Structure 1
């Protein structure tokens, strides 16, 4: 910690800012943010400079940034298959999103909470301040992160259970939980999270594709007696880093080899702007699981795991180039037609039900219309 109380004034200013934005509406959480020293959990982090610089307490910007409403990248790693480029692999997420999620989580005294994605340990500290350390468990796939977080938590006066563990597997030794909160992104809600939550408990998950991250959402799911979990989607344009497949590999999109020797060309009434339209982008992802998107200044290329690809200019009438096993831009067009026919619904018009055999996106109500499955690929 610093040798002065300067951080307290910074923390108070941060919570005042979040209250003015209408994010910090619960007095209990306002007190928590004012009490927990964020700077303890980010002794070093990367600046936004190009190239990024590692900032420490010796830098005059450090304390101001530690209490800014910004995401602070704290770990970067090279992908073993992509030497020479470092991906961000851990961070302290911007406090406004963290606090928004903690409000949505709706915790009460006596509840046991599992956090997926320890990161710096700051969010676990917020939960520990609110509920008591004995009620909080936090896991991360990276032992380097959990070891450092455990030390920092102790420095700040907190002793939750901190374990190196693959987050999608939950953490059986401390189950069942009243609440599970994921501060990493997954493409589906892992079944163990449902199995490790009390009936009536809540799971707050960040679901989004690795290759088109803006298409995601927060899923607030209530677990039922029959082992299903269901609830609404909540808009969240920019969420968390994706889970890592293993400690050494960042949670980056899987690169797909494509065959561009044969190129088909046509026009479309739907341009690549559709890929970034809230609500519609969610449906495109559901029709094209595993989608990757590569935006350019005038067009965007998408790929799917089977090697299909399409490149579309931004606005209609759009020029479409495509190749591989299927014309995948037809799925974008079909998603757009459904979205238009239903009045351009946004993300929060949809919800998710997780059962032992499937994950089903639904429209407006769990027992109402499901989002239709993709038609057969068009070659």
Structure 2
């Protein structure tokens, strides 16, 4: 790196102190890690709307201070193969406050082995290597381009974790079992492969959220049981990670659902589309309508589901509802709202998740058979 990066340690220490003052970092060991890992080596350039080229890189005097800020920096964009000319963000260096929040929740200790799903730039893997030692860290990503770049950056920074280009939804059995699994991509279903590759008593920390309604998610902190299930509470996280990609060339974006608007029904509702923004209710709505997409507009929101059902709902109440397809899906939202209000309008952290070999279930307050509120059975 050029002389412009000679004072990176000052910037890294300032970031570590900022996160400590904000109580994001409460373990002094993680403060030392943040101060020691050169984030700039993992983000040599990032997308910026302020630059004529669209990219800000090492030659720009504003590059280094931003790299060591508490910001998410988009580092890769790709066209969807079915949407030429339109780019989607496909990788980033996530804001350090979320990274460190998750690393605290992960509760790693000396000697533990960790599998990271979603290598991205390699910065989060470097943090883990600095804390645990490279021999205890495995990191995988579906994109060979990202893996190749991360391998070089990790090596140049002095870290040698196991790095592999593969579909992270299948885990990485070659190095299993792990004490901890952390996913830095968002998933709609926690793969049972992660449970199978984690020791009983080990933890899985996953960002669980729908591709089509990304605000309706949470972090799931799951403890693996000897019977092959994993269960635990949800932790509030309004905005999380980019969704896992189905393959390396396709962004993890919602699939377009064709709808049939030849037969349109109209009615009123006491629930307006703003209900979809209430964290606990939006989580519950997603669990009752898997695959939901939401397209907010200035006055109304359209929601769709994979079976072709759709509804346009105004924000103001009483809401005007237009819907079509096989199911009145706004009726499902109304039922979720009724359950939610009857149970004192619980927030995200009143819920938990249990993952079994064939399905996952959302539960309320306690993980027993009387409290299931989502579809499926673990």
TM range (shorter): over 0.9
The equivalent of 1:124 in structure 2 is 125
1:59 offset after TM fit, Å? Answer: 1.2
The equivalent of 1:72 in structure 2 is 73
The equivalent of 2:373 in structure 1 is 371
Residue 287 of structure 2 contacts residue 374 of structure 2 at CA under 8 Å; is this kept in 1? no
The equivalent of 1:333 in structure 2 is 334
The equivalent of 1:347 in structure 2 is 348
Superposed, which structure 2 residues align to 1:21-60 within 5 Å? Answer: 21-49=22-50, 53-60=54-61
1:356 offset after TM fit, Å? Answer: 1.4
Query: How many pairs are equivalent?
Result: 374
1:5 offset after TM fit, Å? Answer: 3.2
The equivalent of 1:220 in structure 2 is 221
Distance 1:149 1:372, change over 3 A: closer
Does 308-317 or 73-82 show the bigger shift?
308-317
1:152 offset after TM fit, Å? Answer: 0.2
Distance 2:300 2:19 in 1: 37
Distance 2:206 2:121 in 1: 19
The equivalent of 1:377 in structure 2 is none
The equivalent of 1:201 in structure 2 is 202
The equivalent of 1:94 in structure 2 is 95
Q: Deviations over 1:180-230 (max 9, x none)?
A: 000001101001000000000000001100000000100000001111100
Q: Match of 1:226, SS?
A: coil
With normalisation by structure 1, the TM-score equals 0.97
Distance 2:131 2:250 in 1: 34
Residue 308 of structure 2 contacts residue 326 of structure 2 at CA under 8 Å; is this kept in 1? yes
Distance 2:51 2:10 in 1: 30
Superposed, which structure 2 residues align to 1:128-147 within 5 Å? Answer: 128-147=129-148
Distance 2:9 2:320 in 1: 56
With normalisation by structure 2, the TM-score equals 0.97
Q: Deviations over 1:227-263 (max 9, x none)?
A: 1100000000100011111111110101000111221
1:49 offset after TM fit, Å? Answer: 3.9
The equivalent of 1:297 in structure 2 is 298
Q: Match of 1:144, SS?
A: helix
1:262 and 2:283 equivalent? no
Distance 2:299 2:251 in 1: 29
The equivalent of 1:190 in structure 2 is 191
Unaligned residue ranges in structure 2 (runs of 5+): none
